[in-house]
Each structure stands twice: as C-alpha cells, then as structure tokens.
Amino acid sequence: MIIFLYGKDGYRLKQSLDKIIGEYKKKYADGVNFSILDAEDGISKELLAKLENLVKTTSFFNEKRLVIIKNPFLIGKELAALIKKWGLAEDKERILVCVERQSEGELNKKDKGLYALLVAESSIIKNVEPLDDRRLESWITKEAAGRNIKIEPAAIKKLIYSTGYDSWQIGNEIDKLAAYKYSAGNNTVSIADVIALVAPKEDLNIFRMVDVVINKNRLLTARALHDHIESGADPYYIFSMITYQFRNLLRVKDLAKNAVPYAGIIKKTNLNPYVVKKTLDQCKKYELTELKNIFRDLAAMDVAVKDGEAEMVDGLYRFALAL
C-alpha cells in the first residue's frame, strides 16, 4: 500500500503524517516495524539498500510494516524501481508513505515519471496546499478547539494578518495563546490578546498589502491599511513599498509596450524572474499613461508630507482608495 502526501503547507503536511504515525502506533504499540528515512540526509548505496531491505521484509508478528520516506523525489528512479519490483501498490502488509513538501508543478518538474506512478498507484493521496482566507479561518477555529480555547472572528483575522498566512507560525501562536488563556482562567481569545502576544510578520504582510492596493480592491485595501497602521507599522515604510512596486510596474509596462521580451525585461530591470512575471500580470490592470500619472501623484504626496502640508496616513488612504 502506498500513501502519497505532498504540498507547500509544511505544518498541515506534518499533521497529516503525524496522524498516520499516531494511528499506526495506537494499533502496534511496540512499533518494531516502523521506520523513517529521509533522502535529504544524503543519497548513498547504504540508504537505498536500507530502503529495499525494509520494503522487501515482512513482519513475523502479524504486524504491518510502515516505512516513511521523506523527500523521495531525490531518489525518484530508484524508488520507482522498488515500488514496481516489490509490488508495493497492491501489498496490504507493507505501507510506504512518500512525503514531499513541494507542489504538483515542482514535483512534475523534478521527476514526472515518479509523480505519475505515485498518483496512479497510491491508495491515499493528499495534496496539502496553503489555505485561502475562509478555509484558513475554519482551520484555525478547529485548531483552537483542539486546544480547548475559542478565538473570536476578529481575532482570527488579526492572527492571519500578523502571521502572514504562515501555518507553522499560526500553530505556534495558537499554542502560545492557549497557554496564556489557561493561566488567565479564560478560554476565549480576543483581538486584544492577539495584538498583545503575536508579533506581526511585517515584511511578508507588507507585500500582500501592496498587492491588494495594486489590484484595486478597495474593500481589502481599506482593511489592509487599517490593520497595518493599527498594528504599529510605519506609514512611511508602507508608502516606500507602494512607491517601489509602482516604479516596477512603470518600468516593466514601458518595456513590455516596446516589445522587449520577458528575458530582456529581467536583464534590464535586474528584478527576480518571479517578480517580473507577477508585475507583468499586474500591469494588465493599468495603461502606461495611468502609471505615469500615479507615479507623479506619489511624488507630489511625498513632497506635501515633507513640507508639512499633508499627513502620511491620510495620504495613504486617499491615494489607495482612489485607484
């Protein structure tokens, strides 16, 4: 039997693996037929020999064998050969769990053959990708309930923003909030608790917020600006990041309009290829003349604030909500 766990959400991926291990140990307490190997520790003949020895050996104690291999795509060809050689897909007595913290696209690129084999032959397949807002809120509610606490809806949103949608940090922060509420004799987490105990992950959040501004979603823009400013983020830093991204938009839009290819844009702007790709997508929302006017507005806003004729916070709201 093969179980295939993969995806970018490392925390929830670990939860899925821990659940499998927990259920196995509950049934087979001594765990003598349970093994974990990690191909990332170093690909060697010893590792491959140990893996083959584990999968080919059956238990004498009426106990199923559980073999977990982390980062299996580092030994893709060898693993595929073992799966076929020992008929692991149909075997009920041996369970092979393959765990990869990468997306479908990344795994296909790394070893298309092994990915196709695991998808075709696995009895259980779980793709654990990061959750969107609504599903993440639901997951946080369940995680909190598992720790015998409740988190108010506003506090959940604040927790998500403060952690930058990072499930590892969210899980750790829920543990911290639970410990605090236990000591306080109260099981309900308020937004004040989150503000007091959870340090905002500002750098990641600021890029998300800038994307919201550029995508012209006024409702989300107002909420994102409010949350950042209320959490103590420097308005001048917010302004500098918005200006930086609109400068990139202007440069990329101008080059694209002059038929400069993708590779040429990367070379001329010296930006990361991922940033160029995302910026090209965002450019579709703006005309070149519109971007030039926006950049002039930002420059004028900067001068007005420095001359004391405007407040930065008010200027940010007026600028962002006027897009």
Q: What is the pLDDT of residues 25-40, one digit of tens each?
A: 999 988 889 999 999 8
Q: What is the mean pLDDT of residues 54-69?
A: 84
Give me the percent of the chain exceeding a pLDDT of 70.
97
Angstrom distances, CA of residue 61 to CA of 28, 52, 92: 10, 20, 15
pLDDT of res. 181: 92
Q: Residue 138 is inside which H or E element, if any?
A: helix 133-146
64: β partners: none
209: β partners: none
Second CATH level (architecture) for the domain 133-197: Orthogonal Bundle (1.10)
Query: Residue 204: is its pLDDT beyond 60?
Result: no
Query: Residue 292: is its pLDDT beyond 80?
Result: yes
Distance (Å, whole) CA 153 – CA 301: 36
- Contact criterion met (CB below 8 Å) for 66 and 33: yes
Report the range of poorest mean pLDDT among 117-131, 220-234, 278-292.
220-234
Mean pLDDT across the chain, nearest whole number? 90
Distance (Å, whole) CA 180 – CA 98: 37
* Phi, psi for residue 189 in degrees, rounded to 5: -90, 125
Distance (Å, whole) CA 196 – CA 188: 14
Distance (Å, whole) CA 186 – CA 70: 40
pLDDT of res. 229: 83
* Phi, psi for residue 261 in degrees, rounded to 5: -70, 165
Q: What is the mean pLDDT of residues 251-261?
A: 94
Q: How does DSSP assign 167-223, residue by residue?
A: HHHHHHHHHHHHHHHHHHT--EE-HHHHHHH----HHHHHHHHHHHHHTT-HHHHHH
* Superfamily designation of domain 2-127: P-loop containing nucleotide triphosphate hydrolases (3.40.50.300)
Distance (Å, whole) CA 30 – CA 303: 71
pTM: 0.63
Q: What is the pLDDT of residues 6-25, one digit of tens each?
A: 999 999 999 999 999 999 99
pLDDT of res. 201: 64
Extents of the domains making up the chain = 2-127, 133-197, 203-321
pLDDT of res. 70: 95
Query: Residue 59: is its pLDDT beyond 80?
Result: no
Q: What is the pLDDT of residues 77-133, one digit of tens each?
A: 999 999 999 999 999 889 999 999 999 999 999 999 999 999 999 999 999 999 988
Q: How does DSSP assign 257-288, residue by residue?
A: HTT--HHHHHHHHT--HHHHHHHHHHHTT--H
First-last CA distance in the chain: 55
pLDDT band of 272, cuts 50, 70, 90: confident
Q: Which residues contact 139 (CB under 8 A, 6 or more apart)?
A: 12, 131, 167
Distance (Å, whole) CA 8 – CA 234: 31
SS3 126: strand
Second CATH level (architecture) for the domain 203-321: Up-down Bundle (1.20)
Q: Which residues contact 45 (CB under 8 A, 6 or more apart)?
A: none
pLDDT band of 202, cuts 50, 70, 90: low
